[in-house]
Amino acid sequence: MNFKEIVQPSSLEEAYEYLANHQKAVIIGGGVFLKLQKREAELGIDLSRLPLSYLKEDEKEHHIGSMTTLREIEISSILPQCMVESVRQIGGVGLRNMVTIGGSVCGKYPFSDINTALLSLGARLVFFKKGEISMERFLGENYVLNDILTSIVVPKVEYSTCRYFKHTYTDFSLVNLSVASGENVRIAVGARPGRSVVVPDINTGHTSEELLARIEFKDDIRGSGAYRRHIAEVMLTEILEEGLLWK
Ligand SMILES: Cc1cc2nc3c(=O)[nH]c(=O)nc-3n(C[C@H](O)[C@H](O)[C@H](O)COP(=O)(O)OP(=O)(O)OC[C@H]3O[C@@H](n4cnc5c(N)ncnc54)[C@H](O)[C@@H]3O)c2cc1C
């Protein structure tokens, strides 16, 4: 992407002013995915000078600044296991040092690994003007952004893990799956290909085939929907057999 002008605001208010007053303004997180796009934008709003790179926690939740890189998530010793595991094979360390969690969420990429983990954890997104919205609603609706994601709130859970299937280490996932159990159990599936979704109406007695029956898997150049479904079922069976998901 080519920008006619790039600004580096020193406050969120200033950044939002730019966004609200320029029809063709684009927010820059790590800027890595934007760099791949072949289009022009009037104004790039680079958030790198704002204090949005942090990992904090309180008794019940983690608070992750939107400019936190995936590498910081990978080496964190406090975040839920499924988040840490989900980013480990995203590109190489160099890429993970640049890409941000804010860019990953806001891009709503149909191959995303981290968004599946966040969905299984029941994460909430905090926008500067619009306030809080659930990850589920954000991914599920064609929510018009025009706002700045400031942080992500992740409830603490007792157990979580994720699985993904890639042809090679740095490839996009063919399919991914994440589970978390805290107050209740949540299972999310992504890279179907398509935005990550939560598995509805889950029940301890269900097999992986029954749990995934209502999830849509599609064909693309990487594999067929039937192949994806089978891999997802195998990954979920493996998790269920570990016996740690249900209390
Ligand atoms: C070569 C390559 C391989 C990859 N492989 C994988 C993979 O295997 N699995 C995976 O899950 N991901 C993968 N990714 C995606 C990557 O993890 C990031 O999700 C992606 O690069 C976006 O992060 P960014 O910080 O670069 O965002 P940017 O490119 O800066 O922004 C992405 C979008 O989000 C918007 N945005 C950014 N920050 C904010 C904010 N705070 N508020 C509102 N809007 C915002 C931007 O305007 C833009 O529309 C890959 C990316 C690349 C380049």
> Among 130, 124, 156, 160, which residue's Cα sits nearest to residue 145?
130
- Mean pLDDT for 16-28 is 95
Residue 191 sits in a domain whose CATH number is: 3.30.390.50
pLDDT of residue 99: 98
Q: Is residue 76 part of a domain?
A: yes
10: which DSSP letter? S
Q: Are 234 and 219 in a shared domain?
A: yes
Tell me whether the omega of the peptide bond preceding residue 193 falls within 30 degrees of 0, making it cis.
Answer: yes
Q: Are 179 and 105 in a shared domain?
A: no
Of the two residues 200 and 170, the one the predictor is more confident about is 200
Nearest-CA residue for ligand 1 atom 1 is 91
Q: Are 63 and 139 in a shared domain?
A: yes
Specify the ligand 1 atom closest to the Cα of 150: 41
User: How many CA atoms does the CB half-sphere of 133 hold within 13 Å?
Assistant: 21
Q: Which of the listed residues 37, 90, 98 should we mutate to test ligand 1's pocket, taking the one with most ligand atoms within 8 A of CB?
A: 90
Specify the ligand 1 atom closest to the Cα of 89: 8
Pocket of ligand 1 (CB under 6 A): 26-34, 36, 47, 66, 70, 90-91, 95, 99-100, 102-104, 106-107, 109, 111-114, 145, 148-149, 172
Q: Is residue 30 part of a domain?
A: yes
Which are the contacts of 78, defined by CB distance < 8 A and separation ≥ 6? 55, 57, 62
Q: Are 142 and 195 in a shared domain?
A: no
Q: Give yes or no for residue 246 having a pLDDT over 90.
A: no
Q: Are 168 and 96 in a shared domain?
A: no
* Average pLDDT of every residue of the chain: 96
Structural domain of 36: 2-46
Q: Are 151 and 66 in a shared domain?
A: yes
Q: Are 237 and 185 in a shared domain?
A: yes
Residue 69 main-chain phi, psi, to 5 deg: -85, 160
The last residue of a domain, from among 124, 155, 186: 155
- Mean pLDDT for 135-150 is 89
Q: Give yes or no for residue 169 having a pLDDT over 90.
A: no
Q: Are 84 and 145 in a shared domain?
A: yes
The last residue of a domain, from among 97, 124, 155: 155
Q: Are 125 and 163 in a shared domain?
A: no
Q: Is residue 247 part of a domain?
A: no
Q: Are 150 and 168 in a shared domain?
A: no
**What domain count does the chain have?**
3
| Gap between the Cα atoms of 147 and 166, Å rounded | 33
pTM: 0.97
Distance (Å) from CA 100 to ligand 1 centroid: 6
What three-state secondary structure class fits 175? strand
